[in-house]
Amino acid sequence: MHATLISVRREKQCYGTHYMKQESFCGRPLGLQFYHATGELYIVDPYFGLMKVGPQGGLAEQLAAAADGHPFFLLNNLDVDQETGAVYFTDSSNQFRRRDWVWSILIREATGRLLKYEPSTRRVTVLLDRLAFPNGVALSQDSSSVLVAESTTSRILRYWLRGPKNGTSDVFATVPDYPDNLKRNSDGEFWVAVNNGKGKVEGIGKMNAGDGGGGGGEDTVGVRIDGEGRVVEVLREVGAAGAVSEVDEVNGTLWFGSLIRPFVGFYILSILTTLTVRPSVARTLPPNPRKELLNYVQLNLTSAFGPESLAFDPAGRGPYTGLSDGRVIKWDHHRHRWVDFAITTPHSFLIISRRSKNCQGTDYLEQESLCGRPLGLQFCAATGDLYIADAYYGLLVVGPEGGLATQLATAADGQPFFLTNAVDVDQETGEVYFTDSSSQFHRKDWMWSIITHEATGRLLKYDPRTKQVTVLLRALAFGNGVALSKDNSYILITETTRSRILRYWLQGPKSGTSDVFLDVPQYPDNIKRTPKGELGVLGGDQLRGGYDREVEHDQGGGGETGAGDRGDGGDEDRWGGEGGGGVGGGGRGGLHK
């Protein structure tokens, strides 16, 4: 009924760029397939289940919303057996809704299902479960099997419907990067839409017989596989800037669909610009000769997520890190546990005193705009103050004794901060440099900034003497980490979407100008300077690995953050909260020493 209102323009809740906030109300039809015998169109909607509508269109009828007592969470794609009318479809996850689909792939959870709907009985049967984001579905030409694209594992599974292998499954093919939808052509071959970010995937050219090699600057947008699972064609295009969600061959024409762009393309690939996930990079970096980093101790977290950045105080104590519940904690080397140091909002007092648990656990994404989300941290050595870039509360500072941080700035040039990210401090002048990654997307929806290639980020400077904020650079494509050079003559900014590091000159003849300092092979996140003046770019292979990496050095040594195991808990800290923990970007992690 909501869609009916929209169609006659009596309300506009589902129009425009804010559709994500309304899609659970408006619906989000993803997979479509006609049943030729009746002319009915079957639809899978991630919020409203399996549906169908007659040849004349109109309001679709809901056929199923659950199977085996488990509600559908993210229905994705379907195919119809044109002989029997049976419908095969996928439920990609039972933990994450479509709006948060990327988290299913980030954490590599496997709760997806392949299902079958029988129109004669109106019953749904689960054929396969524990799938890692099952996506596209396509029946074989003789309907003896059905293929399922498992996005997280980059493979195509085959489930047998007839014959001696009936009811069993095997791996039909492995494809480069993340497969999305599947479509069968008239020859019984399959087109796989490939979501591969920039398309610089090492060895992809080897998959196509007769191809001379990799695609250089080309992007892979589709792979054609024959009925035996052999790759017979890899479809590339220069400047595709990602990939598409569907490739379908109809009457000699290739049609392309996109998950978020407002177009449908055919044949000419250069107009396609988007996709759903961004993968690891093409080349492999040489191994780190510092093998001592392989021997590490992991300091685990129990009740919070997402340590983003590390800082050591002027005395070399720490590390300090910010958490998803609004706290900044530090590692107490004497007691060998984490203790609370600071909070970015008064709401965090409720968390610490155990009067509220809104910001704890896996639901932190829903609460972080209330609880705060401290990301970048950096101390001023002269004062001992800790500057904090909070994604929702802007630039803050807290004194050497910790406590409730003071908000310093929430806007610049009349434009509010949307995603305050990283920070560095000039230790001579006390000036603070920080990034606002986007003016369109908050931290919860940061992925959409990169997917859409929008460039509304800024590099800013805060002067503690005048309390003024100055915009130094605009139009950054997800401006992320910041690091001053050793002599403070320039500052580096990682521009995540464009996989490069920019340099903004603060002194000398180039003062006030910027240039490209370095192109990097991955999506750069934070950047840190070592005591020797060297700069470490912090890894951005986060969509496939599920975490960032950050290397930071203090006078007493170094630390590395990465994905870790869940902690065992800790003692009560000085504010009454939980003390155990570990540092890892993007999830429960561990601090490696």
373 token code pair: 């989300």
Checking if the pLDDT of 463 tops 70, the result is: yes
At residue 304 the predicted structure's pLDDT band, cuts being 50, 70 and 90, is low
Q: pLDDT higher for 590 or 111?
A: 111
**Tokens 């000398």 sit on residue:** 508
> Closest by alpha carbon to 457, among 391, 386, 397?
391
Lowest mean pLDDT among 176-180, 185-189, 215-219, 257-261: 215-219
Checking if the pLDDT of 306 tops 80, the result is: no
d(CA 544, CA 524): 14
Checking if the pLDDT of 454 tops 60, the result is: yes
Per DSSP, the residues of 23-74 read: HHHH----EEEEETTTTEEEEEETTTEEEEE-TT--SPEEEESEETTEE-S-
Residue type, 283: R
Residue 527 has phi, psi (to 5 degrees) of: -140, 135
Contact assessment for residue 207 and residue 196, using Cβ atoms and an 8 Å cutoff: no
Please give the mean pLDDT across all residues of the chain: 74
Cis previous bond, 319, omega within 30: yes
Lowest mean pLDDT among 137-146, 286-295, 525-534: 286-295
129 token code pair: 């479960």
Planar angle of CA 121, 181, 128, nearest 5 degrees: 45
On the question of a common fold for 1-174 and 307-555, the answer reads: yes
User: Domain coordinates of the chain in residue numbers?
Assistant: 1-174, 181-283, 307-555
pLDDT in tens, 364-420: 556 778 888 999 999 999 999 999 999 999 999 999 999 999 999 999 999 999 999
Checking if the pLDDT of 556 tops 80, the result is: no
Strands (E), 141-286: 145-150, 155-160, 169-174, 178-184, 190-195, 218-225, 231-238, 246-250, 253-257, 264-266
- The pLDDT value recorded for residue 460 is 98
Residue type, 421: N
- The pLDDT value recorded for residue 176 is 73
Fold of 307-555: Neuraminidase (2.120.10)
Contact assessment for residue 160 and residue 172, using Cβ atoms and an 8 Å cutoff: no
- The pLDDT value recorded for residue 366 is 65
CATH of domain 1-174: 2.120.10.30
Contact assessment for residue 328 and residue 322, using Cβ atoms and an 8 Å cutoff: yes
Number of H helices, E strands in the chain: 7, 45
> Closest by alpha carbon to 195, among 272, 88, 96?
272
Output the CA–CA distances (angstroms, integers) from residue 327 to 303, 310, 567, 592, in the order listed.
11, 13, 17, 21
d(CA 160, CA 242): 33
Q: Which residues, other chains included, contact 230 with Cβ-Cβ below 8 Å and sequence gap of 6+?
A: 173
Q: Are strands 403-404 and 337-343 parallel, antiparallel or unpaired?
A: parallel
193 token code pair: 């839409």
Positive or negative torsion for Cα 420, 425, 426, 430: positive
Q: If DSSP codes are grouped into helix, strand and coil, which group holds residue 144? A: coil
- The pLDDT value recorded for residue 49 is 93
Q: Torsion-angle region of residue 375: left (phi > 0), alpha (psi -120 to 50) or beta?
A: alpha
98 token code pair: 């479509």
- The pLDDT value recorded for residue 350 is 41
Over range 340-351, report the average pLDDT. Answer: 69
Positive or negative torsion for Cα 104, 108, 110, 115: positive
- The pLDDT value recorded for residue 359 is 61
Checking if the pLDDT of 303 tops 90, the result is: no
Q: If DSSP codes are grouped into helix, strand and coil, which group holds residue 105? A: helix
Over range 171-189, report the average pLDDT. Answer: 86
- Tell how far CA 17 is from the center of its chain: 19
64 token code pair: 């199923």
Positive or negative torsion for Cα 270, 273, 274, 279: positive
Over range 116-142, report the average pLDDT. Answer: 95
Total residues found in the chain within this entry: 593
Lowest mean pLDDT among 82-86, 224-228, 489-493, 547-551: 547-551
- The pLDDT value recorded for residue 177 is 75
Lowest mean pLDDT among 90-94, 153-157, 301-305, 357-361: 357-361
d(CA 195, CA 173): 16
At residue 583 the predicted structure's pLDDT band, cuts being 50, 70 and 90, is very low
Neighbours of 34 (CB within 10 A): 14
Over range 507-535, report the average pLDDT. Answer: 85
Contact assessment for residue 516 and residue 510, using Cβ atoms and an 8 Å cutoff: no
At residue 421 the predicted structure's pLDDT band, cuts being 50, 70 and 90, is very high
d(CA 593, CA 293): 7
- The pLDDT value recorded for residue 107 is 80
Over range 165-179, report the average pLDDT. Answer: 89
